[in-house]
Amino acid sequence: MRTDTPNVWQAVRDPSNRLRAVKSTEGLGMSTPTALSTAIDTAADAVARTAKVIVVIQQKGGAGKSTIAVNTAACAGRSAVMSNADESAGAPVVAAGIDVQGTLEKWCAGVREEALPFDFVVTRSKLDILPSIINDPERRRIIVDTPGFLDVDPDAEWGADPLGESRTADALREVLEVADLAIVPITPSKITWDECEYTIERVLKPRGIPFLVVINMHDPGKDKFETQLNKVKAWIDERNYPRVADPIRRYTIHEHAYENGTLVTEYKMSGTALKAREDFMRVALTMEQML
C-alpha cells in the first residue's frame, strides 16, 4: 500500500545518545552551536522513535540497490509482528525511495496490492516527507532506496562532506541524518569495489553510521566465479568491513522481477525461487542483528 499521509507523533527527547551526535559532526562542517544542537536533537529523537532507518547506498550505479531495498523490505514485511488488527493502520515496514526517477515507486506500483507486504512512499528527493513517517509509532523498519549514482563533489577535501549541492544530495543528507544502518552493495566485479570503499570511508564513517556490506550478483556454479567471490570476500575482510556471510546469487528470475511486478517473496515456487528467497532473507536477518 502506498502511504501519502503518515500519522505523526511527538517524540520525547532523551540526551543519552549525545556522544554519537557529537561524533557524527566531525569533519562535516558542523562547527556552529546551531548545527551541533540540531545533530544532538536528531540523535536524541532517534532514541525515542520506534522505527529503525536502513539506507541502501553505494556511490556507483548498477550494484543492485533497488533490488536489495525492495526484496529486503518484502522479507522484513513478511516477518513483521502485526500488533494492530485495524487494516487501515500503517504496515510495520515501509520501503522508501528518494530517487527523482521514482524507480521504487514504479516497481511497487506493478505489484498486486495484496502481495505487497509493506507500505511504500516515494519522495523524488523532496525534503521533510520521511521524518514524519519515521516518527509514526506504527512503523518499525524504514528501508530507503537511494539514487543510482551519488551526487558527489570531486574536489571535496578529505574529511569534508563529499556530497554535492543538489536537491538529490540534500535528500540523501536528510536520510543519513536519521539512518540507523547502511547496507552497501558490492559485486564480485572490481568495478564496484572502489566506490564501495568511498561510500564507507567518505560518507558513512564520518557520520558514525553503522554499515553492512552485501555481496550481490554472484554467479553460482562455476569455479571462476567462486574464485572471484573469494577475492571480494578477502577484500572486504582485509578492511574489517562487516558483511553478510554469503552473497546474493544472480538468477534470471531477478532480472524480470521489475517488469513483471514481482517480489522475491512472491516468485512462483521452484528450487531457484527458494534459493533466491533464502538470499534476501539472510540479508534481512543479518540486518536485524546489526540493529
The dihedral through the CA atoms of 281, 58, 111, 92 has a sign that is positive
Looking at per-residue confidence, does 9 or 251 come out higher? 251
Q: Which amino acid is at 28?
A: L
Looking at per-residue confidence, does 31 or 267 come out higher? 267
pLDDT of residue 84: 56
Q: Can you read off the three cell numbers belonging to residue 278?
A: 533464502
pLDDT higher than threshold 70 for residue 53: yes
The 10s digit of each residue's pLDDT in 234-251 is: 999 999 999 999 999 999
Report the C-alpha gap between 216 and 66 in whole angstroms.
12
The 10s digit of each residue's pLDDT in 175-184 is: 999 999 999 9
pLDDT higher than threshold 70 for residue 54: yes
pTM, entire model: 0.82
pLDDT higher than threshold 90 for residue 40: no
- Of the candidates 263, 265, 250, the residue with the CA atom closest to the CA atom of residue 63: 250
Query: Rounded mean pLDDT of 143-147?
Result: 95
pLDDT of residue 206: 95
Place of cell 559532526: 25
The dihedral through the CA atoms of 225, 230, 234, 237 has a sign that is positive
For the chain, what percent of residues have pLDDT higher than 90?
Answer: 59
- Of the candidates 205, 158, 192, 208, the residue with the CA atom closest to the CA atom of residue 40: 208
For the chain, what percent of residues have pLDDT higher than 70?
Answer: 81
pLDDT higher than threshold 80 for residue 192: yes
The residues pairing with 52 across neighbouring beta strands, listed in sequence order, are 141
Q: Which residues touch 219 (CB under 8 Å, ≥6 apart)?
A: 188, 225, 249, 250
